[in-house]
Amino acid sequence: MKKLVVIGNGMAGARVVEEILARDAQAFEIVMFGAEPYGNYNRILLSNILNQTQQPAEIFMNTLSWYQENNIRLHAGVKAVEIDRKNKKVAGIRLSKEDAPYGTKIVNTASAEIIEEDYDYVILATGSRPFVPPFAGADLPGVFVFRTIDDCDGIAAYAKNCRKAAVIGGGLLGLEAARGLMTHDVEVTVIEAGPQLMQMQLDSESGDILRRTMEGMGVRVLTGSLTAQITERDGKVGGLLFKDGSALETDMVVISAGIRPITEIAQVSHIDVNRGIVCDDQMRTSDPEIFAVGECVEHREKLYGLVEPIWEQARVLADVITEKNPDAAYEGSRTGTKLKVMGVELVSMGQTDPDQPDDEVLVYRNPNRGIYKKLLVRDERILGAILLGDAEFSDTLMQFFMNEKELPENRSEVLFASVEGTTLLAAADLPDGAQICNCNGVCKKTIVDCIENDGATSVAAVGAKTKAGKGCGSCRGLIAQLIESAVGEVQYDASEHYYVPGVPLEKSQLIREIRDRKIKSVSEVFAQLCGGREHVDSKVGLASLLKTVWPKEYEDERDARFINDRVHANIQKDGTFSVVPRIYGGVTSAEDLLRIANAAVKYNVKMVKFTGGQRIDLLGVKKEDLPGIWKDIGIPSGHAYTKAFRTCKSCVGTDFCRFGLGDSISLSQKIEIRYQGMECPHKVKMAVTGCPRNCAEAYVKDVGVVAIEGDRWELYIGGAAGSIIRKGDLMCTVDDEVAVIKYVDRFLQYYREHAKYLERTYGFVERIGVDVLKGILIEDSLGICAQLEERMQEAVEAYRDPWAEADVPAYINQFQGPQLVEVVREVNNNG
Partner 1 sequence: MDRAYIINLGPLEDIAIGQGRCFIVKDTEVAVFRLRDGSVAAIENQCPHRKGPLAEGIIDQQFVVCPLHGHKFDLETGQGEGGECVRVFNTWIEHGNIYMQFSPYVFIDGKITAGTNNN
573 binds partner 1 (CB under 8 A): yes
CB of 637 to partner 1, least distance (A): 19
CB of 626 to partner 1, least distance (A): 13
723 binds partner 1 (CB under 8 A): no
CB of 644 to partner 1, least distance (A): 18
Cβ proximity to partner 1, 260 vs 535, nearer residue: 535
419 binds partner 1 (CB under 8 A): no
624 binds partner 1 (CB under 8 A): no
Contact 322, 27 (CB under 8 A): yes
Cβ proximity to partner 1, 419 vs 827, nearer residue: 827
556 binds partner 1 (CB under 8 A): no
CB of 826 to partner 1, least distance (A): 6
Sign of the dihedral through C-alpha 445, 446, 452, 458: negative
* Collapsed DSSP state (helix, strand, coil) of residue 341: strand
Contact stretch for partner 1 (CB under 8 A) within 14-22, 374-382, 558-566, 682-690: 558-566
Cβ proximity to partner 1, 232 vs 557, nearer residue: 557
- Residue in 26, 368, 410, 829 binding partner 1, rule: CB under 8 A: 829
Q: HSE on the CB side for 118, CA within 13 Å?
A: 4
Q: Say how far apart CA 189 and CA 178 lie, in whole Å.
A: 8
555 binds partner 1 (CB under 8 A): no
Contact stretch for partner 1 (CB under 8 A) within 484-492, 681-689, 740-748, 817-825: 817-825
Cβ proximity to partner 1, 571 vs 587, nearer residue: 571
245 binds partner 1 (CB under 8 A): no
CB of 683 to partner 1, least distance (A): 17
Cβ proximity to partner 1, 590 vs 824, nearer residue: 824
Q: How many residues does the chain have?
A: 831
Q: Say how far apart CA 492 and CA 495 lie, in whole Å.
A: 8
808 binds partner 1 (CB under 8 A): no
Taking the alpha carbons at both ends of the chain, their separation in whole angstroms is 66
Q: What single-letter DSSP state applies at residue 408?
A: P
- Residue in 88, 369, 512, 535 binding partner 1, rule: CB under 8 A: 535
Cβ proximity to partner 1, 434 vs 563, nearer residue: 563
Q: Say how far apart CA 57 and CA 322 lie, in whole Å.
A: 32
Cβ proximity to partner 1, 229 vs 528, nearer residue: 528
Contact stretch for partner 1 (CB under 8 A) within 122-130, 408-416, 565-573, 651-659: 565-573
List the one residue out of 58, 109, 61 whose CA is nearest residue 82: 109
CB of 478 to partner 1, least distance (A): 30
- Residue in 252, 297, 560, 740 binding partner 1, rule: CB under 8 A: 560
Contact stretch for partner 1 (CB under 8 A) within 60-68, 160-168, 283-291, 552-560: 552-560
- Residue in 129, 539, 615, 674 binding partner 1, rule: CB under 8 A: 539
* Collapsed DSSP state (helix, strand, coil) of residue 805: helix
Cβ proximity to partner 1, 58 vs 537, nearer residue: 537
622 binds partner 1 (CB under 8 A): no
CB of 812 to partner 1, least distance (A): 6
Contact stretch for partner 1 (CB under 8 A) within 93-101, 289-297, 359-367, 823-831: 823-831
Cβ proximity to partner 1, 539 vs 649, nearer residue: 539
Instruction: Write the binding mask 268 to 307 for partner 1: x where contact by CB under 8 A, - elsewhere.
Output: ----------------------------------------
- Burial of 395-432, coded b for 16+ CB within 10 Å and e otherwise, reads bbbbbbbbbebebeeeeebbbeeeeeeeebbebeebee
Contact 490, 484 (CB under 8 A): yes
Contact stretch for partner 1 (CB under 8 A) within 13-21, 77-85, 228-236, 563-571: 563-571
Q: Say how far apart CA 297 and CA 313 lie, in whole Å.
A: 10
Cβ proximity to partner 1, 556 vs 697, nearer residue: 556
- Residue in 141, 224, 531, 575 binding partner 1, rule: CB under 8 A: 575
Q: What single-letter DSSP state applies at residue 783?
A: S
CB of 829 to partner 1, least distance (A): 3
CA 37 remoteness from chain centre = 28
Q: For residue 139, give Cα distances in angstroms to 106, 148, 552, 694.
A: 16, 18, 62, 46
Contacts of 650 (CB under 8 A, 6+ apart): 585, 586, 587, 614, 664, 665, 667, 668, 669, 687, 688, 689, 690, 696
**421-480 positions binding partner 1, by CB under 8 A:** none
Residue 759: burial class (beta carbons within 10 Å; 0-12, 13-18, 19+): middle
Cβ proximity to partner 1, 24 vs 559, nearer residue: 559
Q: Say how far apart CA 675 and CA 670 lie, in whole Å.
A: 9
Q: Say how far apart CA 760 and CA 726 lie, in whole Å.
A: 12
Contact stretch for partner 1 (CB under 8 A) within 80-88, 126-134, 177-185, 814-822: 814-822
Say how many C-beta atoms besides its own lie within 10 A of residue 201's C-beta: 22
Sign of the dihedral through C-alpha 8, 10, 15, 18: positive
**492-531 positions binding partner 1, by CB under 8 A:** 523
Contact stretch for partner 1 (CB under 8 A) within 292-300, 449-457, 569-577, 662-670: 569-577
- Residue in 362, 486, 571, 652 binding partner 1, rule: CB under 8 A: 571
**# binding residues, partner 1 (CB under 8 A):** 39
Output the DSSP codes for 410-459: STHHHHS--TT---SS-GGGS-TT-EEETTTTEEHHHHHHHHHHH---BH
619 binds partner 1 (CB under 8 A): no
Contact stretch for partner 1 (CB under 8 A) within 28-36, 416-424, 556-564, 789-797: 556-564
Cβ proximity to partner 1, 105 vs 573, nearer residue: 573
Assign 3-class secondary structure to 657-718. CCCCCCCHHHHHHHHHHHHCCCECCCCEEEEEECCCCCCCCHHHCCEEEEEECCCEEEEEEC
Residue 307, amino acid: V
CB of 531 to partner 1, least distance (A): 12
Cβ proximity to partner 1, 160 vs 573, nearer residue: 573
Q: Say how far apart CA 748 and CA 648 lie, in whole Å.
A: 14
List the one residue out of 638, 627, 641, 636 whose CA is nearest residue 569: 641
- Residue in 70, 71, 325, 816 binding partner 1, rule: CB under 8 A: 816
Q: Write out the residues near partner 1 by the rule CB under 8 A.
A: 523, 533-537, 539-540, 557-563, 566, 571, 573, 575, 811-814, 816-831
